[in-house]
Amino acid sequence: MKMNLKAIVLAAGKGTRFKSSVPKVLHALAGKPALNYVLDVAEDVGSLTTYVVVGHQAGMVAEAVNGRAVIVEQKEQLGTGHAVKMCASSFKDDRSTVLVMCGDTPLLDSAIVRRLAVKHGRTKAAVTVLTCLLGDPGGYGRIVRDAQGVFSAIREHKDASEQELGIREINTGVYCFNAKELFKAIGNIKPNAKKKEYYLTDIIELFIGQGLRVETLVTDDWTANLGLNTRADLALAESILRKKILGRLMANGVTIVDPATTYVENDVSIGQDTVIYPCSYIHHDVKVGRGCSVGPFARLRPGTRLANNVSVGNFTEVSRSILGDDVNMKHFSFLGDTTVGRGANIGCGTVTANYDGKNKNKTLIGPGAFIGCDSVLVAPVKIGKGAKVGAGSVVTAGRDVPAGKLAVGIPARVIKRV
Ligand code: UD1
Ligand code: CA
């Protein structure tokens, strides 16, 4: 269903509890900044335009947004209500639905947010708040309901009475608003007595006072709504996300021998019947084919592509490199900026020296080549199809080894025949 929906993502806050020189919404989870997950949700639910409110370290946050959304500046961080108000001029006479989300809730589920928007459209409420039932609601705004269970207010933890602190239903910080009503009321929010901030959550009582309809969508998945307020929250969110990523891979036919010690970032694809052995780390932007064997103790860094039946064994690192079908690299090796042809063998301890102190240079290893143990290939260099490099050789930059030839020694010299 197409919705006339725009999104506002709040990302101007200081994140004081994070104690960081980097804005908290830019801290990475599984290799991707927290804020980007929220932008993904906005895109998934079909936001026509997304606005990101920036303030604290605005430049850095705007740069990370990288054109995916319109940047709106909140010069002083006077609260979530004030942050939303900064977008008012973009919504003049606008009748669309405004989805408001916080930049610090990266585990939000697009399907649930879509349900929120659908319910909002159906009930024609002025606001529909996504709420969640928590075992430990500490820190979150509480959803206050009257004796009949009718939603009447959101009370922040700091302002809650003893009785309200016992409420287990919390505000996730995700809302669908009627744009017209939101921006009509937003200027009437008064600063909070204790924190002197303008709380977006105070708009509920203003709406009710005007006789407008306020709704909730109640959920119970605490993981989806986890807000990153501290480093402990960051670690918790990472572990939840990691389980999800590994679960998805296993469901697709990948064997993860020990999920507890396997780390796979976001944006990784792995083919069926590949086995990932313990203590391996696979970064984002990596593709692994079918029937491969990775680890134990392997690190695959961004830009790496393994074709099918590739073996990358213990104490190995592969960075921005492409390994063709049936390549073996079983022990103690580093390959960087390297392309390896089908069936080549990378001997134990082989290193491509890809960095000359200024530039990263490329190494090409032809199909069926055999690189002897403990060799160093100084890039840029090419090892031809079926060529061999003797154990312990140093093949220096530009001294390519022609197809079918053998090179040995330091510096390596081509000797007549293989
Ligand atoms: C907020 C809600 C709380 C809810 C919780 C859910 C309010 C007053 N409280 O509390 O009810 O349970 O989220 O996670 O809204 N921000 C700005 N400008 C500001 C202040 C904050 O852009 O002036 C941004 C922050 O960067 C953050 C988001 O708004 O992404 C939420 O702010 P935060 O301070 O984390 O609010 P909470 O205390 O978590
Ligand atoms: Ca928060």
Ligand nearest to the CA of 82: 1
Query: Do 269 and 187 fall into the same domain?
Result: no
Same domain membership, residue 261 and residue 214: no
Q: What pTM did the predictor assign?
A: 0.94
Q: Structural domain tally of the chain?
A: 2
**C-alpha dist (Å) from residue 263 to 260, 277, 287:** 8, 11, 14
Q: Which residues of the chain have pLDDT under 50?
A: none
Q: Which atom of ligand 1 is nearest to the CA of 171?
A: 12
* Predicted local confidence at residue 14, as pLDDT: 87
Q: Are 66 and 181 in the same domain? A: yes
- Nearest residue (by CA) to ligand 1, atom 22, is 12
Per the CB < 8 A criterion, the answer to whether 324 and 342 are in contact is yes
The predicted structure's pLDDT at residue 93: 84
Same domain, 264 and 284: yes
Q: What SS3 state is found at 393? A: coil
Same domain for 257 and 275, yes or no, is yes
Quick one: residue 62, left, alpha or beta (phi over 0 = left, psi -120 to 50 = alpha)? alpha
CATH number of the structural domain spanning residue 281 = 2.160.10.10
Give the residues across from 9 on adjacent strands: 52, 101
Distance CA 96, CA 7 (A): 10
* Cα–Cα distance for residue pair 138/390, rounded to 1 Å: 64
Site to probe by mutation for ligand 1, drawn from 39, 56, 87, 102 as the one with most ligand atoms within 8 Å of Cβ, is 102
Give the distance (Å) from ligand 1 centre to CA of residue 227.
9
Q: Are residues 192 and 289 in the same domain?
A: no
Residue 11 alpha carbon, nearest atom of ligand 1: 26
- In sequence order, the β-bridge partners of residue 97 are 5, 178
In the three-class reduction of DSSP (H, G, I as helix; E, B as strand; rest coil), residue 86 is classed as coil
Judged by its nearest atom, the ligand closest to the C-alpha of residue 103 is: 1
Mutate which of 8, 18, 80 for ligand 1 pocket (most atoms within 8 A of beta carbon): 80
Residue ending a domain, among 225, 255, 282, is: 225
pLDDT tens track for 11-28: 999 889 999 999 999 999
Residues paired with 151 in a beta bridge:
145
Identify whether residues 176 and 263 lie together within a single domain: no
388 and 360 part of one domain: yes
Q: Supply 4's token pair.
A: 């006339």
Nearest ligand, CA 25: 1
> Which atom of ligand 1 lies nearest, measured to the CA of 104?
30
Cβ atoms within 10 Å, residue 134 = 18
Same domain, 162 and 263: no
Q: Are residues 338 and 369 in the same domain?
A: yes
CB atoms within 10 A of CB 38: 27
- Ordered alpha helix ranges (H), 45-109: 58-65, 80-85
Pocket of ligand 1 (CB under 6 A): 10-13, 53, 55, 74, 77-80, 82-83, 102-105, 140-141, 154, 156, 170-173, 199-201, 227, 229
Residue 253 corresponds to which amino acid? G
- Please tell me the predicted confidence (pLDDT) of residue 94: 87
Task: Tell which atom from ligand 1 comes closest to the C-alpha of 140.
Answer: 12
Domain that holds residue 288: 231-417
